[in-house]
């Protein structure tokens, strides 16, 4: 076609070629969006740790407009941005970053979880009958972000260094030292607040276990 050869001036070559071009661009753009939507749904997305109220992933994906407000207001700095590596659908949605902070469910804030409060689109919304963890009363609550897992090979206590940082950090009595002084998680009492992961010194102090790629205690999503 004549106008195809005359790029880029021909982008707006006079005449109705413009019309067809407009239609083509619109159709291509529309097709692109549909393909993107289907693609994003097909490509598997990692299950991530979410702030309180973000446990229903479908609602979070549908409503989150990526305004970053929840991340900004968290008094504990426990919310981090999500990356492409976590799946296309998760891109720019909020997820917990327990290396940076942990979630105390805003126990000391008068009006409840700040992240839920600022979310303008109700992407973070507490279900009816939600009971939040309370670090003062040790109430575990029924909003569970994930569950802690100990990697015994990487744990300093396992190698006789007498570490119990995580046990001390847990406000919900979900951790105790086992028979060999290595911490054991009580999954019934762990609400995934991340205090243990935040406190774990296995990657920063003492003799770091060979091959350790993460802290010895991390919170993982509920399967």
Positive or negative: CA dihedral 122, 57, 166, 101: negative
Contact between 83 and 66 (Cβ < 8 Å): no
Binding-site partner at residue 216 among other proteins, ligand SF4, none, CB < 5 to 8 Å by type: ligand SF4
* The two three-digit tokens of residue 191, written as one number: 């609400």
Binding-site partner at residue 105 among ligand SF4, other proteins, none, CB < 5 to 8 Å by type: ligand SF4
- Measured CA angle at 121 (ends 103, 97), to 5 deg: 25
Total residues contacting ligand SF4 by CB under 6 A comes to: 42
Among 79, 170, 174, 219, binds ligand SF4 (CB under 6 A): 79
- For the CB of residue 136, give the shortest distance to ligand SF4 in the complex, in Å: 14
- For the CB of residue 63, give the shortest distance to ligand SF4 in the complex, in Å: 7
For residue 163, give the nearest of 173, 171, 174, 155 by alpha carbon: 155
Asked if 163 touches ligand SF4 (CB under 6 A), the answer is yes
| Placement of tokens 């897992």 in the chain | 149
Positive or negative: CA dihedral 98, 99, 100, 104: positive
Contact window for ligand SF4 (CB under 6 A) among 15-23, 27-35, 118-126, 134-142: 118-126
Chain residues in the site for other proteins (CB under 8 A) = 2, 6, 8-20, 22-27, 29-31, 33-34, 36-38, 40-41, 58-59, 61-70, 72-75, 81, 83-85, 88-89, 91-92, 100, 114, 117-118, 120-123
Closer Cβ to other proteins, 58 or 207, answer by number: 58
- For the CB of residue 109, give the shortest distance to other proteins in the complex, in Å: 12
User: What are the residues facing 79 on neighbouring strands?
Assistant: 96
Contact between 195 and 175 (Cβ < 8 Å): no
Among 48, 49, 52, 140, binds ligand SF4 (CB under 6 A): 52
Distance of CA 56 to the CA centre of its chain: 12
């Amino acid at each position: 076609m004549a106008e195809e050869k005359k790029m880029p001036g021909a982008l707006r070559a006079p005449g109705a070629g413009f019309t067809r071009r407009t239609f083509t661009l619109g159709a291509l753009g529309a097709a692109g969006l549909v393909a993107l939507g289907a693609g994003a749904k097909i490509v598997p997305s990692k299950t991530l740790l979410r702030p309180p109220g973000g446990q229903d992933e479908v609602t979070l994906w549908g409503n989150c407009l990526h305004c970053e407000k929840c991340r900004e207001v968290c008094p504990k700095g426990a919310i981090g941005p999500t990356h492409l590596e976590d799946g296309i659908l998760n891109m720019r949605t909020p997820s917990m970053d327990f290396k940076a902070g942990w979630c105390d469910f805003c126990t000391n804030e008068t009006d409840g979880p700040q992240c839920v409060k600022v979310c303008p689109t109700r992407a973070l919304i507490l279900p009816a009958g939600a009971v939040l963890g309370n670090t003062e009363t040790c109430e575990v609550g029924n909003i569970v972000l994930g569950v802690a897992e100990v990697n015994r090979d990487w744990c300093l206590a396992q190698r006789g260094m007498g570490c119990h940082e995580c046990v001390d950090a847990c406000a919900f009595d979900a951790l105790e030292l086992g028979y060999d002084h290595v911490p054991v998680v009580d999954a019934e009492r762990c609400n995934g607040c991340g205090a243990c992961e935040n406190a774990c010194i296995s990657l920063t102090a003492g003799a770091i276990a060979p091959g350790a790629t993460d802290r010895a205690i991390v919170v993982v999503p509920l399967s």
